[in-house]
Amino acid sequence: MIDPTGAEPRIAIVTGGSGGIGRAVAERLAADGMRVVVGYAGNPARAEQVVEAIAAAGGTAAGVAADVADEAQVAALFDEAERLYGGVDVVVHAAGIMLLSPLAELDLADLDRMHRVNIRGTFVVDRQAARRVRRGGAIINFSSSVVKLGLPSYSAYAASKGAVDAITWILAKELRGRDVTVNAVAPGPTATPLFLDGKDHAAVEELARMAPLERLGLPADIAEAVAFLAGPARWVNGQVIYVNGGIA
């Protein structure tokens, strides 16, 4: 895609970019004129589908495998973005896992898995982003509306996303003087495979009715908020933006 202003395209890395919200974000940023590195963990075919969809729409993208909790692999992800496109301007850390259980019945192995991906992964990705994102850039983490909703069975997941909130607030302050914003989006119930997995129709309908708009969010709804933070929102910094259709 050619920028009619003649400006150099911005470069975005999207972790978890091969499916669900991450795919919608990658495609939206590409549609906005960015060159996108689609980070993925274990499904190269699905990542290639995203890259092909972006190319078919006139954008530029490449898929790069990386375990977000592995320091060496994340460093290599950023290295590849710089090798391909010359730098990094936007990092969207959308990779995450959600494993639900009442606290009293929680398998601690599930807690450890979410800690590794959702908390350690955010630290690892944000550390590289803090070192490499160019002036005028943006770092966007993914929190969740369940941090404040307090839904039963979400305690471990909400705890992991509460940690993301804290990382976001503090990193924004640590990057003083860099002209790099750090924010998080906190989706509400959104129609993705991650969210719908294991829920029966009645549960999904109940969650859809929670918002005054009386529907589940769509990945495109979340991508719209990310695009705002990645582009024009230069005076929004250190915030967690709840993108949930008005759920209290």
**DSSP class of 119:** I
Q: What type of residue sits at position 209?
A: R
Q: Which residue has the tokens 């980070």?
A: 39
Q: Which residue has the tokens 């859809």?
A: 208
**DSSP class of 88:** -
Is residue 242 among the annotated active site residues?
no
The continuous run of DSSP H or E covering 84 comes out as helix 71-85
Please say whether the beta carbons of 161 and 242 come within 8 A.
Answer: no
d(CA 123, CA 69): 8
List the strands of the sheet with 240-243, edge to edge: 60-65, 35-40, 11-15, 90-93, 138-142, 181-187, 240-243
Detail the DSSP E strand segments found in 67-216.
90-93, 138-142, 181-187
Q: Name the β-bridge partners of 37.
A: 13, 62
Helix (H, G, I), strand (E, B) or coil at 196: helix
Q: Name the β-bridge partners of 139.
A: 91, 182
User: How many CB atoms neighbour CB 148 within 10 A?
Assistant: 16
Catalytic residue among 40, 85, 154, 157: 157
Q: Which residues are known catalytic residues?
A: 157
